[in-house]
């Protein structure tokens, strides 16, 4: 804001110098030429200011990390309701008599990052497909990993009949950090004067992030990918993460719930992440989860149809619908196959 005020004052001083200064008396031709240039500049400035107002006060669009002006505005306008437990869901109440219950457990994929209306998330799609005989809970927070999920499930005030663990490949980050394994953060953050401009201009921020991150969906950032694949291949990291998953499975058993899991690939690089999702799915199955690996389902699909937008690689609305219907069918099959508890 301070930078904007300084530029505006400088521009006003230039106008004053041309209109009231020595040029008015001594060099009328030059003054006329400068006035013509200023007229064009005024028009351009008015357009820029109008766009600045729009991007500052009106525009919102989610991004993967809520780093942009638009991403922060999106969170402020759409991240609701948030219940007393901190989850983007209605207040937690026990199931009605005879009503089955399921908790979807995970991170921002479950919470619905990039989804303006909570009812469009796959958890809510599943709830509608399951019908009034089921009580569905959304037990998720942005940035959660397997350790957070185990803690959240143990602290949840209701013991659900089923738990659907929603796994994403960055869930290994906690284990990698504990093992001192380097994971490279791939977002190109602004620096120096560019940082100053993005902090003070919503329009410049919009333009900057289109160049800085617009290409990230073309297979993912290579350094990040190399480090992520390396973490899954590192015996120490994988051993620590396998222990986290085992504890998560134990937390599900402690609640007396049927364990199910769905494993999401990196949506901007489904084929490349398929070996990792297969490894995780195998581990979860060995721990007793009925597991769905989405990588084989999503292979070969265009990336724009899978993700929210060019800056947000969370699931698109269409993918939320598909996964919600898929998981509802899975839960119904489990109910029919196992009968009452």
CB atoms within 10 A of CB 153: 21
Q: Is residue 42 located within the same domain as residue 184?
A: no
DSSP character string of 277-328: HHHHHHHHHHTT-EEEE-HHHHTT--GGGTEEETTEEEEPHHHHHHHHHHHH
Q: Is residue 123 located within the same domain as residue 237?
A: yes
Range of the domain at 37: 2-57
The pLDDT of residue 277 is: 98
Distance from the Cα of residue 252 to its chain's centroid: 26
**Looking at residue 313, which CATH number applies to its domain?**
3.40.50.1110
**Which three-class secondary structure state does DSSP give residue 263?**
strand
> What are 43-68's pLDDT values in tens digits?
788 888 899 999 999 999 998 888 89
The pLDDT of residue 216 is: 42
Phi, psi at 93, each rounded to 5°: -130, 150
The pLDDT of residue 46 is: 84
The pLDDT of residue 11 is: 55
Tokens of 210: 């289109």
Which regions in the chain score pLDDT beneath 50?
A: 215-220, 339-341
**Domain end residue (candidates: 18, 35, 57):** 57
Tokens of 78: 């759409």
The pLDDT of residue 220 is: 43
The pLDDT of residue 187 is: 67
The pLDDT of residue 315 is: 98
Q: Is residue 78 located within the same domain as residue 21?
A: no
Q: Is residue 41 located within the same domain as residue 181?
A: no
Identify any residues that bridge with 140 across adjacent strands, giving them in sequence order. Answer: 106
The whole-angstrom separation of Cα 289 and Cα 269 is 25
Its pTM stands at 0.85
The whole-angstrom separation of Cα 299 and Cα 266 is 11
The pLDDT of residue 25 is: 54
Q: Is residue 13 located within the same domain as residue 105?
A: no
Alpha helices for the chain (secondary structure H): 2-20, 23-26, 28-57, 69-78, 108-111, 122-130, 146-155, 173-178, 192-200, 202-213, 222-233, 235-254, 270-286, 295-298, 317-338
The pLDDT of residue 19 is: 53
């Amino acid at each position: 804001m301070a930078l904007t005020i300084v530029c505006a004052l400088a521009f006003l001083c230039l106008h004053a110098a041309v209109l009231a200064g020595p040029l008015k008396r001594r060099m009328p031709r030059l003054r006329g030429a400068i006035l013509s240039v200023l007229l064009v500049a005024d028009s351009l400035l008015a357009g820029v200011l109008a766009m600045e107002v729009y991007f500052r006060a009106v525009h919102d669009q989610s991004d993967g990390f809520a780093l942009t002006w638009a991403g922060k505005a999106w969170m402020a306008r759409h991240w609701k309701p948030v219940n007393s437990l901190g989850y983007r869901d209605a207040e937690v109440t026990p199931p009605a008599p005879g009503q089955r219950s399921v908790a979807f457990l995970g991170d921002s994929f479950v919470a619905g990052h990039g989804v303006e209306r909570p009812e469009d998330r796959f958890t809510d799609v599943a709830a509608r497909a399951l019908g009034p005989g089921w009580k569905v809970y959304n037990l998720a927070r942005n940035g959660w990993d397997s350790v957070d999920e185990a803690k959240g499930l143990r602290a949840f005030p209701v013991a659900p009949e089923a738990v659907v663990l929603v796994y994403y490949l960055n869930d290994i980050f906690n284990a990698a950090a504990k093992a001192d394994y380097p994971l490279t953060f791939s977002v190109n953050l602004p620096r120096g004067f560019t940082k100053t401009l993005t902090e003070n201009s919503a329009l410049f921020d919009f333009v900057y992030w289109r160049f800085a991150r617009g290409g990230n969906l073309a297979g993912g950032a290579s350094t990040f990918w190399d480090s992520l694949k390396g973490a899954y291949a590192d015996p120490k990291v994988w051993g620590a993460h396998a222990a986290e998953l085992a504890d998560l499975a134990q937390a599900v058993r402690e609640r007396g719930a049927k364990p199910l899991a769905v494993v999401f690939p990196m949506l901007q690089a489904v084929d490349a992440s398929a070996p990792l999702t297969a490894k995780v799915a195998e581990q979860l199955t060995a721990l007793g989860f009925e597991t769905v690996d989405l990588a084989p389902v999503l292979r070969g699909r265009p990336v724009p149809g899978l993700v929210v937008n060019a800056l947000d690689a969370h699931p698109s609305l269409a993918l939320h619908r598909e996964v919600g219907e898929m998981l509802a069918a899975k839960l119904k099959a489990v109910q029919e196959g196992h009968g009452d508890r």
